[in-house]
Amino acid sequence: MKITIIGAGNVGATTAQILSAKELGDIVLLDVIEGMPQGKALDLQEAGPMYHHYCNISGTNSYDDTAKSDIVVVTSGLPRKPGMTREDLVKVNAEIVKSVVEQVVQKSPDAIIVMVSNPLDAMTYVAHKVSGFPKERIIGMAGVLDSSRLKTFIAMELNVSIENVEAFVLGGHGDTMVSMIRYTTVAGIPVSELISKERLDAIIQRTRDGGVEIVNLLKKGSAFYAPASSVVEMVDAILRDKKKILPCTVLCKGEYGLDDVFLGLPVKLGRKGAEQILEIKLTKEEADSLNNSANEVRELCKTVSL
């Protein structure tokens, strides 16, 4: 298998590191900065003997080297700066993502694209519009990350093993994400029986603010270990054809009563990409929250000019 990662920053390079340890395929790390992807790729390759993983890792500034990739992970884009609105960020990163995807399509017309660039839902929409790929081959990474944060905070609250916690979120990546507490369990026990509603509400809000909390702590930069691990979880499920169900950003075509909007939903991931969207029963409150999230994503996508 051939895996290309566009953007050799913290998220991209860490993704390459974890993927190489899993030996899922040969890895191409691409960035516009000359020497940077080449240096990181060589460093990772030299780590191979210590970790006993055997795959080819190369760095490049040319899309020619990404040709015939099986899967392409797009992390390119600018971070949100002080004073910048989400709409400002959309306009800037839409141009970057548009350029990236156009070249990916030209070199790897059969690839599956995993989007990581922010604002995630809008950038996945851009990738779909620009690529013309079928919807199962354009997938956004957000739900896996947000669900991991929710699981982490629940395990911390109860001082239990993270392995005991099952939780997931739906909807957009941001303030309108829908935490599915009704389906959240700890060793099979409904979490609502173990944590008060007040504390659960605080945990849900902390999950929504997960990225901002890390940005504020780091002062410079943003999260990359958990986002990279989330990407790998998806790539592993796809390339190993696991049929694993994960919350991912995909195009709705009637599911949950929603149409033509990219939103985080439970998805079966396999070698064909997003092979199936699973529909679960929602309460009226959950359905209303999901609709609200979808409306916010639609409004954000309206600011994109392609």
Query: Kind and range of the H or E element at 106?
Result: helix 86-107
Peptide linkage before 134 cis (omega within 30 of 0): no
Q: What is the pLDDT of residue 85?
A: 66
Question: Domain 143-301: which topology?
Answer: L-2-Hydroxyisocaproate Dehydrogenase; Chain A, domain 2 (3.90.110)
Q: What is the pLDDT of residue 303?
A: 87
| 156-160 LR contacts (CB < 8 Å, sep 24+) | 157/195, 157/199, 157/203, 158/186, 158/194, 158/195, 160/186, 160/187
Asked if 287 and 178 count as a contact pair (C-beta separation under 8 A), the reply is: no
Provide CATH 3.40.50.720 ranges for the chain.
2-140
DSSP conformation letters of 185-213: EETTEEGGGTS-HHHHHHHHHHHHTHHHH
E strand or H helix at 214: helix 210-218
Q: Where in the chain is the domain with CATH 3.90.110.10?
A: 143-301
Q: Which of these is catalytic: 52, 53, 128, 173?
A: 173
Per DSSP, which regions of the chain are E strands?
A: 2-6, 26-30, 57-60, 71-74, 112-115, 138-140, 165-166, 169-170, 178-179, 185-186, 189-190, 244-253, 259-270, 273-277
**Which residue, 157, 166, 155, 156, is CA-closest to 189?**
166
Say how many residues make up the chain.
306
Give pLDDT tens digits along the chain (306 positions).
Answer: 999 999 999 999 999 999 999 999 999 999 999 999 999 999 999 998 988 778 999 999 999 999 999 999 999 988 766 666 667 788 889 999 999 999 999 999 999 999 999 999 999 999 999 999 999 999 999 999 999 999 999 999 999 999 999 999 999 988 889 999 999 999 999 999 999 999 999 999 999 999 889 988 998 888 999 999 999 999 999 999 999 999 999 999 999 999 999 999 999 999 999 999 999 999 999 999 999 999 999 999 998 887
pLDDT for 56 equals 95
The pLDDT score that the predictor gives to residue 128 is 97
Kindly list the distances between the CA atom of residue 280 and the CA atoms of 163, 177, 196, 267, 286, in Å, as whole numbers in the listed order.
23, 16, 25, 11, 11
- Token readout for 299 is 């409004």
CATH of 2-140, one of 3.40.50.720, 3.40.50.1240, 3.30.1300.10, 1.20.1290.10: 3.40.50.720
Q: Tell the residue number behind the tokens 């849900």, with chain if given.
A: 204
pLDDT value, residue 81: 66
pLDDT for the residue 175: 84
Is 173 a catalytic site residue?
yes
Looking at residue 111, its pLDDT comes to: 98
Question: Measuring CA to CA, which residue among 84, 142, 88, 107 is closest to residue 30?
Answer: 107
Give the predicted TM-score (pTM) of the model: 0.96
